[in-house]
Copies of this chain bind each other. A is one copy, B any other.
Amino acid sequence: MTDFAATKAMFDLPQGITYLDGNSLGPLPRKAAARVAQAVSAEWGQMLIGGWNRAGWMDLPRRLGDRIAALIGAQAGHVVLGDTLSIKVYQALASALDMRPTRRVILSDTGNFPSDLYMAAGLCRTLGDGYVLNTVAPEDVAGAIDDRVAVLMLTEVDYRTGRRHDMAALTRAAHDAGALVIWDLAHSAGAFAVDLAGCGADFAVGCTYKYLNSGPGGPAFIYVAPRHADVARPALSGWLGHEAPFAFDLDYRAGAGIDRMRVGTPPVLQLAALEAALDVWDGVDLHDLRSASQALMDQYIAGVEAVCPDLILATPRAHDARGSQVSFRHPQAYAIMQAMIARGVVGDFRAPDVIRCGFTPLFIDAGDVARAVAVIGDIMQNRLWDNPAYHTRAKVT
């Protein structure tokens, strides 16, 4: 059994805070502070330009990619870190469209994270030539897959509701129709075991600052299935994706395999934080993680529903049908979340009416859930959200 008390002790959590927002920004792993300081002072400061070789900076995107591969069911050597999730979405999409040259439709759903849709729409506009992004309701995706679809692009877990798509079934359906599939694992990687290889996914992308705890602005990752890795065209063809970056040739030749998805100079300080954050996973069994997470969510749902009849559950009750977050709806969701934060229970509000909390056993235990339920119960039963201070919108929420 994974020792989650031990993993919790690996995080530097502020006193008096019950942090249920790791699905937005994971907390600080204690080792990350020292690891980043080492990257700054001992590596950058003392090795200077030599750090690219001597400190292994140049290999970090591949080395850490292998560690993430182990968490998402990807083959080693087929995941690389870099850029932001939106950029990686663009590369995966451009590659996939290139591999289905007679088709013009990108299919996605209205529950997808908007940035993925924006990047897709931007790519369609750049391509012209009839390319179009079609979105349907999440429950209508399977029925909307036809032979005009070049690529099905989905985020496995809905950032708002926590609803989880059936990766295996939808990948199979897309393949049956001759389409390729891109999975966005933003709310999956580190939340539960993903089985990219088993599902036959073509591409996957994800971020590291949520359940992988790499810190604000940590780099994204991209996976390309081995069968596509040497044919995919990266579209954003930067020098570190070149076959020989330091030959400084004038002509681009895509590097072998996943290396071609690298673009520019890797963000070494952010990668150092990620490296330390990944150490937390060394003793973690992903099946233990999933069952502990489900137990925390069940406890939270039962607790909230028992005391707050006005909060409407937006997340599926079925274990298989949800990720690692629970969302409730309420017209005063924004003010309720502000009241929660004022009482030390940190989740987040998502427009228009969602109170969203994430439940990872890495640093959340049953005592935290009980505390959160008590606070929410008090807020709802005593209408503590009905305070003008909680209705002023901050710039970013």
Instruction: For the complex, count residues of A whose C-beta is within 8 A of B.
Output: 94
Find the B residue at minimum CB distance from A35: B40
A250–B127 touching, CB < 8 Å: no
Chain B contacts for A44, CB-based, 8 A: 25, 27-28, 215-216
Find the B residue at minimum CB distance from A209: B265
A351–B246 touching, CB < 8 Å: yes
- Bitwise interface map of A from 173 to 213 toward B, beta carbon under 8 Å scored 1, else 0: 00000000000000000000000000000000001010000
A264–B40 touching, CB < 8 Å: no
**Which of A43, A87, A348 has the most B CB atoms < 10 Å from its CB?**
A87
Chain B contacts for A28, CB-based, 8 A: 40-41, 44-45
A14–B46 touching, CB < 8 Å: yes
Chain B contacts for A125, CB-based, 8 A: 233
- Bitwise interface map of A from 221 to 259 toward B, beta carbon under 8 Å scored 1, else 0: 000000000000111111101100011111110000000
Residues of A at the B interface (CB closer than 8 Å) are 12, 14, 17, 19, 21, 24-25, 27-28, 32-33, 36-37, 39-41, 43-46, 48-53, 57-58, 83-87, 90, 94, 110, 113-115, 117-119, 121-122, 125-129, 135, 160, 207, 209, 215-220, 233-239, 241-242, 246-252, 263-271, 273, 341, 346, 348, 350-351, 394-397
| Number of copies of chain A assembled together | 2
A53 to B346, CA, bound (A): 14
13 CB < 8 A contacts A-B: A37-B40, A44-B216, A52-B216, A53-B394, A83-B87, A86-B238, A87-B263, A119-B236, A125-B233, A126-B127, A217-B265, A246-B396, A247-B351
Chain B contacts for A251, CB-based, 8 A: 117, 121
Kindly provide the distance from the CB of A38 to the nearest chain B CB, expressed in whole angstroms.
11
Find the B residue at minimum CB distance from A55: B216
A21–B40 touching, CB < 8 Å: no
A269–B396 touching, CB < 8 Å: no
Kindly provide the distance from the CB of A175 to the nearest chain B CB, expressed in whole angstroms.
25
B33–A217 touching, CB < 8 Å: no
Given contacts A248-B351, A348-B49, contact A215 B122 (CB under 8 A): no
Chain B contacts for A46, CB-based, 8 A: 14
Chain B contacts for A37, CB-based, 8 A: 33, 36-37, 40
A247 to B270, CA, bound (A): 27
B115–A264 touching, CB < 8 Å: yes
B216–A268 touching, CB < 8 Å: yes
B25–A49 touching, CB < 8 Å: yes
Kindly provide the distance from the CB of A30 to the nearest chain B CB, expressed in whole angstroms.
9
A57 to B264, CA, bound (A): 23
Kindly provide the distance from the CB of A76 to the nearest chain B CB, expressed in whole angstroms.
20
Contact of A115 among B24, B27, B239 (CB under 8 A): B239
Chain B contacts for A350, CB-based, 8 A: 248
Chain B contacts for A50, CB-based, 8 A: 341, 346
B40–A32 touching, CB < 8 Å: yes
Beyond known contacts A50-B341, A267-B270: 17 more, CB 8 A cutoff: A14-B48, A27-B48, A36-B37, A36-B40, A44-B216, A50-B346, A53-B396, A58-B396, A83-B84, A114-B248, A114-B250, A127-B127, A216-B266, A216-B267, A217-B270, A246-B397, A247-B351
